[in-house]
Structure 1
């Protein structure tokens, strides 16, 4: 999906429900205490809040450099259009559990998107310097999966981007009073964020959620819980 358009539609829906949105408002100072939560804007305004939710994605590392967080560089390509992909079973999405991993899927216009081959670097110049090499490796990996595509595919589009995950795949919980961090880290971060948003909503409206123990710092898991 178009994630940029999707985010804006969510914001529009929130506004229709009464949420006030202040675009391009930079926060350049804050006071976070148990009985006092204030944010100061660059225009001199002060925002008071009972609860703060940080939903800033990887940029949260500028706020709290969590030792549990790792910034990676990931790569992907979109191939030329290929009409005959008969050996692709049921148009399934492919996602390896290996590290580094590969994922691949078909698009409605008969392209193949394949990506992965993550590198442990958060530096823009180093990330971009490897894009062409990763492009060629991804083509080879795709041919390894589907030998019949050899000499029939090339990368019409290719790119690199940062992604962030935690060492154990578990949430981050910085010691910020009255604050929650909803960041979408990891390959399944979007799914986890939906779950966590429901937990945060109930904690703030009802004071309790049966699964909040998975988020708070002092987690105690039973043997039946698998993350």
Structure 2
């Protein structure tokens, strides 16, 4: 599957951070993790911490699928607003989903501190503004629901927005909880830890066949090597859909640009995360080297050639959107890329097992806060493997 154009910012900046070998002989293990992006690396980290024997394998270089093209906003806000999400899964599950995302951001920060690595992590407030007056009518209810479940946020009206940001919007929510990270670098550091603690990591090793047995799973690589495991975890990002007969995701094309570095350190209020209510939405963040990253202008199709042909046009549109918000900041695009993006009907991830693939777990954390969902998947699957009861697993199950 063609996941992205060739020059995403994080890959261009960091290059190949660490090399891993391809698998050269058949092996057996307790668990195989299929996928070496941010999702697979978080799972490998959690399994290493739990002392579970595991092999992680990827057909590409580590982190070079969607992970190196991720815009890597860490948000508790799910793409589906709380008031809409409760219509899909009920208020209790919707509320818990939002709370779990807040907890996950804090856990990611804890992991970064534990590893003592520089991965561009920083806490950021999240500013969610109404794109029009119609959307603004929904924000007071959204504000009250979030306050009701203990989320720390403020409701701002047009005058306050204008005074603090310089641009106009009819209403907005300013939330305390949010962060940003370099997901590509984080992936490599997670796997460095996992490898040092017993997880075997292989890249450039394509799996061409999976056989499910009564109490095991057998994977075959393109060179005919076998990997036998008691359990398989499919953490293949957007490519995970190919392993399911039921379609659970909608594939879109998304676009992003990164500016040249700015001289001033604070580009807008607290350099917070910025995004809007419109769908598809525009979003902005800064980077640890003082650039601005803008994403959005999504298109509802999966067609790599058509997607890539739009890249220049979409970059210009994103520049214009930035200029509308911050006309005094001279944005000069330094990097631009396009990628495949997937979302689920309710905005929640799919985590867990399905009957058609015995001894297998899926970690499908999609949407605007896919990294946060990936951490939740890592914890849920770790608990399944260790026999620990996880009361939140049902929220993200395939039978919801």
Match of 1:193 in 2: 374
More helix by percentage: 2
How far apart are 1:116 and its partner, in Å?
A: 0.7
Show structure 1 runs of 4+ deviating over 6 A. Answer: none
SS in structure 2 at match of 1:121: coil
Structure 1 residue 211 corresponds to structure 2 residue 392: yes
Unaligned 5+ segments in structure 2 are 1-119, 121-181
Match of 1:19 in 2: 199
Whose relative contact order is higher, 1 or 2, with alpha carbons under 8 Å and at least 6 apart?
2
Within the candidate set 161, 179, 198, 2:360 is matched to 179
SS in structure 1 at match of 2:346: coil
> How many pairs does the alignment contain?
217
Match of 2:317 in 1: 137
Within the candidate set 165, 171, 182, 2:343 is matched to 165
Separation in structure 2 between the aligned mates of residue 32 and residue 25 of structure 1, nearest angstrom: 20
Separation in structure 1 between the aligned mates of residue 396 and residue 360 of structure 2, nearest angstrom: 12
How far apart are 1:187 and its partner, in Å?
A: 1.1
Offset from partner CA, 1:160-191 (integer Å, 9 cap, x none): 11122212223336532111111331111110
Q: Considering only aligned residues, what root-mean-square deviation do their CA atoms show, in Å?
A: 2.3
Instruction: Indicate how the Cα distance of structure 1 residues 82 and 27 shifts in structure 2: closer, same or farther if over 3 A, else same.
Output: closer
How far apart are 1:199 and its partner, in Å?
A: 1.0
SS in structure 2 at match of 1:12: helix
Separation in structure 1 between the aligned mates of residue 266 and residue 215 of structure 2, nearest angstrom: 62
How far apart are 1:109 and its partner, in Å?
A: 3.7
SS in structure 2 at match of 1:202: helix
Separation in structure 1 between the aligned mates of residue 299 and residue 202 of structure 2, nearest angstrom: 36
Instruction: Indicate how the Cα distance of structure 1 residues 18 and 115 shifts in structure 2: closer, same or farther if over 3 A, else same.
Output: same
Unaligned 5+ segments in structure 1 are 220-227
5 Å matches for 1:103-142?
A: 103-142=283-322
Match of 1:225 in 2: none
With structure 2 as the length reference, what TM-score do the two structures score?
Answer: 0.50
How far apart are 1:207 and its partner, in Å?
A: 4.6
